[in-house]
Amino acid sequence: MTEPEPTILIIEPDTTFSSQLKEALEKIGRYRLVVTEPGISVRYIEGYQPAVGIVGASLDLHGCMKCVQKLKIVDPAMPVLVFFESESLTGGSLSGPFEAVYRVRLGMSPSDLGEILNRAMAKRAETEPSLDFPVLIGSSHEIQKIRTQIDRISDKDITVLITGESGTGKELIARSIHYHSPRRNGPLLKINCGALPDDLLESEVFGFQRGAFTGAHKNKPGRLELAHGGTLFIDEIGDLSLALQVKFLQVLEDKSFSRLGSVQDKTVDARVIAATNTDLWKMVREGKFRKDLYYRLNVVHIVAPPLRRRKEDLPLLADYFMNKYCYELKREPLELSSHVLDALKAYAWPGNVRELENVVRRAIVLREWDFIFKELDLDLALDKPDEKWPLDKGSALIRWGEGTVRRFMEEKDFSLKVIAKKYVAEVEKGAIIKALKQTHWNRRQAARLLGVSYKTLLNRIAELNLRPT
């Protein structure tokens, strides 16, 4: 029984170019050729089951990137050939977050095109399918800089420190470094220092010997030991106690450690990537973080920028999340009109890319944007495209405050004292909920974010009867 001809999906709105491309491909080999428009949905792409995707030359950089994103959502390892005549498409800005993207100059001979196509398909056959390929979406200067740093350091076995606010993609950067390193076939293990108390954290990272403590009935290797040959990602390293900082320093200096309850040192070959949303150097000055450990970690420093500093990436990010989750949830995409994007750009995004991802996913489920904008306290009317809202940092908060006061004044008792009391209470509750959501209910991190003590936050959570949702 003969194998079916591989499908090549050509995304190109220009019929003249698509006809020329089909003619060239027919000279190269036997393929099932399908031509479609850039607006094709991810579900339709999946239906064609393409072996290769081709993006035509008539699209600009933004259009090309959107098409590449759709193809890669269906199959991250799918070879994608992108034709270009503009030099702006020759750099890493196009393939950027993805592997197996081949740039093809317009006017290339069929034989040269065939060579690229055959090489791409052969490489695809050797590649293991991966559904968790780390994707850094965007074309901003900040993201380009991070990609350049990743390219330069991935094959160097050095420690990396990633800093940035919650939700900026620090773990994604760590995964990208691991994926592009010689350790990519080894394990990538994560430990969150803010999620566990010291005693549990020590046993989780370093493991323990039988009898080390009550309940230790057998030997157990820790994350560090299990990461041998791969990478250990230490998240929120600023939450480490000074005692555990000493043990981590030994790991970085000597590549050795001992399990809890053991006097025998073990050697380990694991790359360490650390991340934090706190100012470690400030902690060093305050005596809360060891200076020698800081310098050991900070061999290479990567800063994950907040979304508000790279809002030019927001359309690509929103489009990627829209296609990704519509595909996963089997829903039709919602329109990302210029008015919707204007509204999204007007928001400050304190939760950064993670918050945007959740907002798009929620919009897909609810099938509307209006409700989402109310949740974000964005009063941008979609039926008023000419209305321009100020984009300063306080604009969303001012609109929220005006609406809240107006609502309180509609009640029977709207004396200034009552309004002030209710207003402050609601602001406090909203801030606590926001901080808890942003930190995924890590109450220690939320307390730091809010500038209150851990005990105070626990008391307020109990008084407000808040629960994780």
Tens-digit pLDDT profile for residues 55-77:
988 888 888 888 988 998 888 88
Least confident stretch, 128-132, 137-141, 164-168, 354-358: 128-132
Q: What is the pLDDT of residue 172?
A: 92
**Residues 200-246 pLDDT 10s:** 888 888 888 776 677 777 888 888 889 999 999 999 999 999 989 99
**CB hemisphere CA count around 461 (13 angstroms):** 23
Calculate mean pLDDT across residues 335-345. Answer: 87
The confidence score (pLDDT) of residue 91 equals 46
- Residue corresponding to tokens 């560090």: 224
Give mean pLDDT, residues 391-399: 40
Band of residue 28 on the pLDDT scale cut at 50, 70, 90: confident
Q: How far apart are CA 117 and CA 23, in angstroms?
A: 15
End-to-end CA distance of the chain: 54
Per-residue pLDDT at 321 = 92
Strands (E), 250-342: 256-258, 265-267, 271-276, 300-303
Residue 169 has pLDDT above 70, yes or no: yes
pLDDT of 331 reads 84
Lowest mean pLDDT among 149-153, 342-346, 404-408, 430-434: 404-408
Percent of the chain with pLDDT over 70: 84
Q: Average pLDDT in the 387-411 region?
A: 43
| Dist CA 438 CA 343 (whole Å) | 21
Provide the pLDDT for residue 469: 67
Place of tokens 């940092």: 393
Asked whether the beta carbons of 219 and 208 are under 8 A apart, the reply is yes
- Name the pTM for this structure: 0.69
Q: Are the CB atoms for 70 and 320 separated by under 8 Å?
A: no
pLDDT at 92: 47
pLDDT at 167: 92
Q: Helix axis angle, 110-126 relative to 15-28, nearest 10°?
A: 70
Q: Is the per-residue pLDDT at 95 higher than 50?
A: no
What backbone torsions phi and psi does residue 89 show, to the nearest 5 degrees? -95, 5
In angstroms, rounded to a whole number, what is the distance separating the alpha carbons of residues 142 and 312?
Answer: 11
DSSP 3-52: PPPPEEEEE-S-HHHHHHHHHHHHHH---EEEEE-TT--HHHHHHH--SE
Task: Work out the angle between the directed axes of helices 141-153 and 170-179 (0-180°, nearest 10).
Answer: 40
* Predicted local distance difference test score (pLDDT) of residue 226: 92
* Model pLDDT, residue 416: 59
pLDDT value of position 417: 59
- Burial class of residue 75 in the structure, from the number of CB atoms within 10 Å of its CB (0-12 exposed, 13-18 middle, 19+ buried): buried
**With 50 as the cut, is the pLDDT of residue 42 above it?**
yes
The pLDDT assigned to 423 comes to 60
Integer Cα distance of 189 and 110 in angstroms: 45
Helix runs in 367-453, H state only:
370-375, 395-409, 416-438, 443-450
Average pLDDT, the chain: 82
Domains of the chain: 7-126 (3.40.50.2300), 141-303 (3.40.50.300), 311-463 (no CATH)
Angle (deg, nearest 10), helices 338-346 and 314-329 = 110
